[in-house]
A = this chain, B = another copy of it.
């Protein structure tokens, strides 16, 4: 048993933390939030240069990491700084899926992702699929040497900025069968693909994507026809570890901002941090933070093993962090008072990151159900 980071990960953590604390200030980030693309190309390039994207890929795929603890180390730091850049979408989901399923020619994109040259989006969820990962009603029909995609994709994060969308579509099976789902690499400017983009409440952008008879060559398919689900599940597992770690990082910042605020802010003639009722609430947050940290360690540490155990630990982590995160976000705002209600204050953004993370891949209740299903399995 060993709970220390390896030297490499410690260095990655240090350099990423330093970079973000120097460059990704509240005002820089608030400008990005107001921007058109949902992220900063400049910051993106520097993250790639720092090796942050490469750390999310295995050596086999051209990176120098890719394990659960690489992902959790990177995303905890991103979370601490409230980073909205689409690493989860372009690298973990998009790049990860291509690395898992792509042929040699398709895999060239992974190298570009690691270099920071390409943006991706994973167009998987649909207007009525909610958090069900196998519910795909978009169809892929073979027409000679071509494939025709028809359907709608919902809340596709980073879709507008993406050079390619990775679109899931059904080639066979019932609407929620795990069999019969394929993935296709679709350049954003493909005819028949249209989107309505919008900003997200917690930063970044997404789009509703319409696939109105999009015609693709058969070579656009990633992997075998109808056999993509297991790679999707793997990629989502990695994304959920990332999201849990990111939320942990954001919770750390929220708690630290609150601690600092209570020490400096005075009311009724004394720092409000001297009021015992608030002290005990901060103690509660710190305790939950340790719980969340351990939950992330459990999830990251099981990412490479048995799939059921992996998913059980992920569901546990996401349920715990869903509950603890809500407490941290709400209590941090409450203990700050009005200032935390203003958009420009750091905590406001951090609290939104924490709470809205519940809405990707399932909230605490959904994760609890999943944990129960997996426990019974």
Q: Bound state CA distance, A279 and B276, in angstroms?
A: 10
A1 within 8 A of B: no
A308 within 8 A of B: no
Q: Bound state CA distance, A277 and B281, in angstroms?
A: 9
Which applies to chain A's interface (DSSP): helix, strand, loop or mixed? helix
**A280 contacts across to B, CB distance below 8 A:** 277
**A279 contacts across to B, CB distance below 8 A:** 277
**A277 contacts across to B, CB distance below 8 A:** 276-277, 279-280
A345 within 8 A of B: no
How far in angstroms is the closest Cβ of chain B from A365? 15
A275 within 8 A of B: yes
Write the A267-284 contact mask toward B (1 if CB under 8 angstroms, else 0): 000000001110110000
Which residues of chain A in 271-311 are interfacial with respect to chain B, using CB atoms and an 8 Å cutoff?
A: 275-277, 279-280
Closest to A281 in B: B277
Q: Bound state CA distance, A149 and B110, in angstroms?
A: 79
Q: Bound state CA distance, A279 and B275, in angstroms?
A: 11
Closest to A280 in B: B277
Q: Bound state CA distance, A351 and B91, in angstroms?
A: 56
Which residues of chain A in 244-287 are interfacial with respect to chain B, using CB atoms and an 8 Å cutoff?
A: 275-277, 279-280
How far in angstroms is the closest Cβ of chain B from A291? 21
How far in angstroms is the closest Cβ of chain B from A272? 11
Q: Bound state CA distance, A275 and B275, in angstroms?
A: 9
Closest to A279 in B: B277
A contacts, CB < 8 Å to B: 275-277, 279-280
Q: List 6 A-B contacts (CB under 8 A).
A: A275-B276, A276-B276, A276-B277, A277-B277, A277-B279, A277-B280
